[in-house]
A and B are shown apart, each in its own frame.
Chain A
């Protein structure tokens, strides 16, 4: 797991401060927030050596409570018997995507950390993109500079979707002709339909990618038709057929 706390927003600086304050003392903590906001990372930064169990596996939670003093319970909201579990004398750090009952909060947890979604802390997006790119380069053994501008930023699932978008972008920009060929073959193979217009469907996919790439590079339809070596009317017709809305820049 990537245990680096990457953030520059004031909200996350406050969370960073809380991590340093709660680490090393016996205070049960619950970390709440949407998918991908970094709850698991914060839990592991508070208790790096704790056993990790999941709320949807209550038998594992019971075993951990019996055998360990420091326990991270992920997806606490899915733990069916949280009100009846004996947790005294243990240090618990839990994560939850949903709000949990006040009575449970009051019985178990000293503090609650709320993690804001990325949409509320835009300052963190560029630093996270930089972090994911550098991580991906290391993991995928890619040398040289990568253009981070081209990444289609997706924060619908916060860091999860952003990380996927970064890896997707880095893989796409470093793919060889052969790799692309085998990827397309694999894609076509798994998506072959029962209909008799497979060729048309896949050709559209092909056309669409070529037109998008040319538009990104050459900006205007005039330049695109010149560089693609096709008539401007033919290009316009194809754009219309594909239902694209391309504006000249």
Chain B
């Protein structure tokens, strides 16, 4: 190997890394973080990340990488590295699961101008006979028509409702997110957040819902009692 001294600043490599990186003090206070980490802490409490670092740290001073599936809201990770060289600081780096990309993304040209309220009514009417639940709606009434692949979106929403089988009450919330954007083919679009909640939710169709959603640039996240669809408002 070349003996030439290296002058590049390693810190910048961490700063511009695709993966989030944090350094915590001995009481769990955050000392530093890189750019991707700033996005992550909008979705997960730093205390959770500190506890994760403690749980996966090596027994003695040093570095340890563990393969583990982690999911925080829309972020998913397949591994983490924890390192500490003193009692005062501990660092953690999380490795984002590679985004393989949808098999076939529907282009904006193929989308139709859509009245979202109409599609909501259709999906609720389709799900009602099977689920026999009380459907409640809490929706922003002033949304404009926007471009969406109607067939694919109806597939996503009907299957999302079906996942709430066994719930007595299913609530649909629809509102515009402020200050957040989704990027579709290089352009930024405002996000419509459609949240469905119920007492029970089956996860068996999550992968399918996620796959169809990604084809139409809709991003999903699920938990035990809710499903969220983030829809780009393409005008």
Contact = CB atoms under 8 A, between A and B. Distances in A.
A124 interface: no
Contacts of B110: 88-89
Contact of A21 (B114, B125, B158): B125
Interface string B88-99: 000000000000
Most buried by A among B125, B153, B159: B125
Given A21-B121, A25-B118, A111-B122, A11 B151 contact: no
Contacts, number: 50
B163 to A, nearest CB: 13
A48 interface: no
Interface of B: 110, 112, 114, 118-119, 121-123, 125-126, 128-130, 150-155, 158-159, 208, 212
A196 B16 CA distance: 102
A106 B112 CA distance: 20
A95 interface: no
Given A21-B118, A21-B121, A111-B122, A26 B151 contact: yes
Nearest to B121: A21
B150 A21 contact: no
Interface string A98-115: 000000001001111110
A14 B122 contact: no
Interface of A: 11, 14, 17-18, 21-22, 25-28, 88-89, 106, 109-114
B118 A106 contact: no
Interface of A is mostly: mixed
Most buried by A among B114, B119, B126, B128: B126
B30 to A, nearest CB: 43
Shortest 7 CB-CB distances between A and B: which pairs?
A110-B154, A21-B122, A110-B151, A26-B150, A111-B126, A27-B154, A27-B151
Contacts of A109: 155
A27 B123 CA distance: 11
B61 to A, nearest CB: 51
B122 A22 contact: yes
A88 B181 CA distance: 28
Contact of A18 (B118, B122, B153): B122
Most buried by A among B114, B130, B150: B150
A88 B112 CA distance: 13
Contacts of B125: 14, 17-18, 21
B128 to A, nearest CB: 7
Nearest to B124: A21
Contacts of B212: 106
A111 B125 CA distance: 10
Most buried by A among B110, B119, B129, B212: B129
A26 B115 CA distance: 12
Most buried by A among B123, B154, B159, B208: B154
A110 B122 CA distance: 10
Contact of B129 (A14, A22, A110): A14
Nearest to B112: A26
A108 to B, nearest CB: 9
Given A17-B125, A25-B119, 16 more contacts: A18-B126, A22-B122, A25-B118, A25-B150, A27-B122, A27-B150, A27-B151, A88-B110, A89-B110, A106-B208, A106-B212, A110-B153, A110-B154, A111-B122, A112-B126, A114-B129
Contacts of A110: 150-155, 158
A111 B129 CA distance: 13
Most buried by B among A25, A26, A27: A27
A166 B153 CA distance: 44
Contacts of B118: 21, 25
